[in-house]
Amino acid sequence: MWPWEHAALGYVCYSALTRRRLDAPPGDVAALLAVFASQLPDLIDKPLAWTVGVVHSGRMLAHAPIVAVALCFGVWWYLARRSETEYGVAFAVGYLSHVASDALQSVLVGEYAYARFVLWPLLSVPTDQQESVLAELGAFDPALSATLVVSAVVGLATVGLWIADGTPGLGVFHRS
Ligand SMILES: [Zn+2]
């Protein structure tokens, strides 16, 4: 999934959960945290694999549930001690939506090897082929890509939800 798709999914999941739990749209800081956390697994693993080279896959350490759940619990616990439990929930929802959607996407397209990170380190994960990633990007054709159309429709629907929620997140910038 592209970064904006992870952001959209993280926001939609958090918005739905907040409306169900609190009967209210997400708050400014919580919405930003959910979107930020939805990018974090890739922001950690991709540079570690592709730039630093300490892991061999862009879906490994920070994507592995054993690390992801521990990290989310740690963040939630830290924020809960400061009476900011909701921020911890937002972080966890954004982060875990990324991990879950990466695994689900790999399973749905039949690339089961790329879902093995859900049981890392018990299962090994395949080594990223930088060339194939770059070739994929090079072959990307916006005009003909059906997935881009779907992505755009989902993106517009997410923006619609965000507007219906009262554009949470923007208030942080207006306040200053
Ligand atoms: Zn990812």
**What is the C-alpha separation between 41 and 68, in angstroms, rounded?**
8
Q: Which two tokens stand for residue 28?
A: 């400014």
pLDDT at 140: 58
Q: 151-174: string of b/e by CB count within 10 Å (b at 16+)? A: beeebeebeebbeebeebbeeeee
Ligand 1 centre distance from Cα of residue 148 (Å):
18
pLDDT at 136: 54
**Sequence-distant contacts of 120-127: CB under 8 A, at least 24 apart:** 120/60, 120/61, 120/63, 120/64, 120/66, 121/64, 121/66, 125/56, 125/57, 125/59, 125/60, 126/57, 127/56, 127/57
Ligand 1 centre distance from Cα of residue 42 (Å):
5
CB atoms within 10 A of CB 1: 17
Ligand 1 centre distance from Cα of residue 98 (Å):
6
Domain map (residue ranges) of the chain: 3-127+143-175
Cα–Cα distance list, 102 to 72, 96, 112, 148 (Å): 17, 10, 11, 17
Ligand 1 centre distance from Cα of residue 6 (Å):
8
Would you give per-residue pLDDT tens digits along the chain (176 residues)? 889 999 999 999 999 999 999 999 999 999 999 999 999 999 999 999 999 889 889 999 999 999 999 999 999 999 999 999 999 999 999 999 999 999 999 999 999 999 999 999 999 998 987 655 555 555 556 655 777 888 888 999 999 999 999 999 998 887 66
Ligand 1 centre distance from Cα of residue 43 (Å):
9
pLDDT at 150: 83
